[in-house]
């Protein structure tokens, strides 16, 4: 955030109470709006308008801390677009950027207001789902996967199909992993989805009668 703007706000003299024509008041409001826009830019990915990697790390840490206090689970989804390099190579980076913007729009349409969608980097996205169980998170991931699969984009006279692979895991009270370890765990399930043929959701085992099943894909 630009400290010069903040200092400008502090240096502007306040207006007399009730003076609606005060020029200083207008200046303060203008500068406050600039600071707000700068703060939003710091945490937002320019292309997709989703949160960026920096904000993701902060948000995930806060939600995991909330889980430790409240016991309500935090679910994390990492998704990666399948064969995205081929899209860039064949159709060009302009079409690749169009695909990324399209996927971000689909994510926004699917999430709840409390969810935290981020562009993790390249063609990879993360979604932090507060107060969400593993079953709910896997259901959400499959719904988004199908939406992506059934929403091709128009490229000239042709329609370009898009697919994505997903990794899903949940952080619950009593879990002892760090933020980095949690991300690596989810990334491992994403890697599994890629290895098993792409365009699928792989996730940590569901628990049944206190026992863990084998790693699962759907």
Q: Between the CA of residue 169 and those of 3, 107, 148, 217, what are the distances in Å?
A: 39, 18, 20, 12
What is the sign of the dihedral through the CA atoms of 156, 46, 121 and 173?
Answer: negative
133 and 75 Cβ atoms separated by less than 8 Å: yes
Distance (Å, whole) CA 44 – CA 206: 34
pLDDT tens-digit map of 158-197: 999 999 999 999 999 899 999 999 999 999 999 999 999 9
Catalytic residue numbers, as ranges = 123
Q: What is the pTM of this model?
A: 0.80
Please write the tens of the pLDDT for every residue from 9-41: 445 455 555 555 556 666 666 656 655 555 555
């Amino acid at each position: 955030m630009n400290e010069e703007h903040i200092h400008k706000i502090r240096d502007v003299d306040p207006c007399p109470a009730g003076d609606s024509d005060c020029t200083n008041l207008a200046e303060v409001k203008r500068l406050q709006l600039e600071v707000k826009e700068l703060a939003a830019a710091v945490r937002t990915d320019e292309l997709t308008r989703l949160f960026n990697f920096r904000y993701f790390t902060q948000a995930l840490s806060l939600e995991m801390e909330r889980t430790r206090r409240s016991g309500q689970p935090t679910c994390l989804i990492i998704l990666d677009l399948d064969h995205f390099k081929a899209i860039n190579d064949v159709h060009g980076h302009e079409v690749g950027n169009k695909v990324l913007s399209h996927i971000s729009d689909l994510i926004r349409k699917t999430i709840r207001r409390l969810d935290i969608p981020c562009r993790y980097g390249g063609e990879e996205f993360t979604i932090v789902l507060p107060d969400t169980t593993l079953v709910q998170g896997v259901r959400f991931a499959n719904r988004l996967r199908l939406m992506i699969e059934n929403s091709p984009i128009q490229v000239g006279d042709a329609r370009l199909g898009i697919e994505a692979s997903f990794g899903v895991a949940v952080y619950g009270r009593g879990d002892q992993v760090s933020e980095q370890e949690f991300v690596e765990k989810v990334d491992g399930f994403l890697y599994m989805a890629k290895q098993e043929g792409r365009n699928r959701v792989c996730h940590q085992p569901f628990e049944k009668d206190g026992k863990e099943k084998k790693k699962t894909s759907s």
